[in-house]
A and B are shown apart, each in its own frame.
Chain A
Amino acid sequence: DAGITQSPRHKVTETGTPVTLRCHQTENHRYMYWYRQDPGHGLRLIHYSYGVKDTDKGEVSDGYSVSRSKTEDFLLTLESATSSQTSVYFCAISEPPLGSPLHFGNGTRLTVT
Chain B
Amino acid sequence: AQSVTQLDSQVPVFEEAPVELRCNYSSSVSVYLFWYVQYPNQGLQLLLKYLSGSTLVKGINGFEAEFNKSQTSFHLRKPSVHISDTAEYFCAVRLTNKLIFGTGTLLAVQP
Contact = CB atoms under 8 A, between A and B. Distances in A.
Interface of A: 1, 31, 33, 35, 40-45, 48, 50, 56, 58, 90, 92, 98-99, 101-107
Interface of B: 6, 9, 32, 34, 36, 42-46, 49, 51, 90, 94-104
Contacts of A1: 43
A88 to B, nearest CB: 10
A9 B59 CA distance: 29
Contacts of B6: 42
B43 A43 contact: no
Given A56-B97, A102-B99, A107-B43, 7 more contacts: A1-B43, A33-B99, A35-B101, A42-B101, A48-B98, A98-B96, A104-B44
